[in-house]
Structure 1
Amino acid sequence: MSIPLEDLFNDVIAKSMRGLGLSDADLTAKSGASAEAIAAAKSGAVDDAVLLKIAPHLNLHGPSLATMAHNAWKPADLSLPGLAQFNTTYHDMTVNAYLVWDAETKNAVAFDTGADAGPMIDFIEKHGLNLSLIFLTHTHPDHIMDLAKLSADGAVTVFVHAREACAGAKTFELGETESWESGGLKIEPRSTWGHSKGGITYVVSGLSKPVAIVGDALFASSMGGGMVSFSDALATNRKEIFTLPDHTVLCPGHGPLTTVGEEKAHNPFYPEFKSHT
């Protein structure tokens, strides 16, 4: 199943304007683009000249934004043994949850539940896996909707950062918890808060490539809304995600799988990684 990008180019514009606290009038004054042109871009009108004019004032990479507007890029399809993505419907959107497992021990670890944990549970049973731990990237309802069913009402231990304590989960603090191990897997938590107050990226080693389950911190060609702190959402992504090796597989809460290298090359929110030639 091919999952489309979570955001359109005008979603990126809206997120940046909201995060920076810029009105249409502010952006007009800064960029020289007309109010009408900015309103049209926010409504989805594709005009490369306008996008390239406003992007620097939104701290966005203009060419990447224009590429999004023309639907000219999506990350290469990824398949990694020991990693499964589950995409379920929540109201008018879809949400991802993930399963990572060690082929030798059959120990599996789940990340979030999505709207319906049924497909993941079926997969676990079909492949003879043992679900040993569940980790929550954050506690927005679409990501934990089916926690009771996936954890079998608490029979499987669930972890969440202490800033987002929720029923049915044990809390942890960064610093006192360096990592967990399950079979041949090692799971390291990294703080990527900003979209939510206790957002965590989990870096998993033990497969043929490193994997980072990023929740809503980052999407292919976009990022979460930075609803708690836009500046911290950007900064924690830079510090904790973009410092990972380029071949690290990124597992977002919405949209397709991607990699650190792909996001460096194509994500408009991170212009510093792009070629300036």
Structure 2
Amino acid sequence: MHLTLEDEVSDILGKAQTGLGLSTENLADRAGISREALRALRQGERDDAALEKVAPHLGLDPARLKALAAGDWQPTAQPPSEGFAMLNLPFGAYSVNAYLVWDPANRSAACFDAGTKAGPILEVIDQHDLKLETVFLTHTHGDHIEGLADLLKAHDVPVWVGEGEPKAPGGARRLAPGKAFRIGGLPVETRLTRGHAEGGITYVVKGPGWTVAVVGDAVFAGSVGGGMVSYADALETARKAIFTLPDDVLIAPGHGPLTTVGEERRHNPFFPSA
């Protein structure tokens, strides 16, 4: 499955500017560029010289921004050959990801987020003869839970969600970060990634020869989901929960392609010192 990056440079600039609460006038003055030049960047015009000036005032890495603008980077991460499935589901003109992870030894499985429709998830469950035991939600924004009701009609299993989330869809039980689970014999660790959502959770699953971090909208390949609750917390909790993992850990985001911790350390402009 080949997916393009979720965010363009204009999206990245917008998320950082909004998160820092900077007006166009304020940011342009700080960067020493015209308001027109800044608006052009925000509208997708490529201007490396202007990016160089704006990036430091947004806490972004200018070299990484320029590489993204030039199309010089796309993650090369590959999914595990067994025990993992990525479901890229339609979300209006866009798409959203859900994931199935299972223990190859006994087919015990968990679904991470339910996306916008259950049908493709149910097809993979049947195709691999999986025993769905749990649904884990990274957060409860609509595009990640619209398919949950139909999924639970087919498989009446417990649902877990972070204790900070305002909703508990599907009768979800609330978990405190740090609570441990198992999928068959696979350990699952829970880490707080608050900021995009109030109670966002990253799930770290250790499989046979691989480790996957299902991060929701905390981090995308080359970007972040944005600080809808707190931009500062979104960056800080991602640093603590995700960028403390080894480089070879696969990042399974809520939107866009798979990536790895190492690739994001080297290429994500939001984390220049991660």
Q: Say if 2:118 and 2:150, in contact at 8 Å, map to a contact too.
A: yes
Superposition deviation, residue 249 in structure 1? 0.2
Shifted more, 129-138 versus 181-190: the winner is 181-190
Per-residue CA distance 1:58-90 (angstroms, 9 max, x = gap): 000001011111111110041212111000111
4+ residue segments displaced more than 6 Å: none
CA distance 1:153–1:106, shift in 2 (3 Å): closer
2:105 corresponds to: 104
1:140 corresponds to: 141
Matched residue type, 2:140? T
**SS in structure 2 of the partner of residue 270 of structure 1:** coil
How do 1:1-277 and structure 2 match up within 5 A? 1-80=1-80, 81-152=82-153, 155-164=156-165, 165-174=167-176, 178-273=179-274
**SS in structure 2 of the partner of residue 63 of structure 1:** helix
**SS in structure 2 of the partner of residue 38 of structure 1:** helix
Flag structure 2 segments of 5+ consecutive residues without an equivalent: none
Give, in whole Å, the separation in 2 of the partners of 1:126 and 1:119. Answer: 10
Q: Say if 2:160 and 2:175, in contact at 8 Å, map to a contact too.
A: no
Superposition deviation, residue 157 in structure 1? 0.9
Give, in whole Å, the separation in 2 of the partners of 1:169 and 1:66. Answer: 45
Superposition deviation, residue 179 in structure 1? 0.4
Matched residue type, 1:198? G
Superposition deviation, residue 154 in structure 1? 6.7
Q: Say if 2:77 and 2:260, in contact at 8 Å, map to a contact too.
A: no
**SS in structure 1 of the partner of residue 210 of structure 2:** coil
**SS in structure 2 of the partner of residue 7 of structure 1:** coil
Superposition deviation, residue 30 in structure 1? 1.0
Superposition deviation, residue 153 in structure 1? 6.6
Flag structure 1 segments of 5+ consecutive residues without an equivalent: none
TM-score computed with the length of structure 1 as normaliser: 0.95
TM-score computed with the length of structure 2 as normaliser: 0.96
Per-residue CA distance 1:216-245 (angstroms, 9 max, x = gap): 000000001110000000000001000001
RMSD, matched Cα: 1.3
Per-residue CA distance 1:153-185 (angstroms, 9 max, x = gap): 77111111122232313332326x620112121
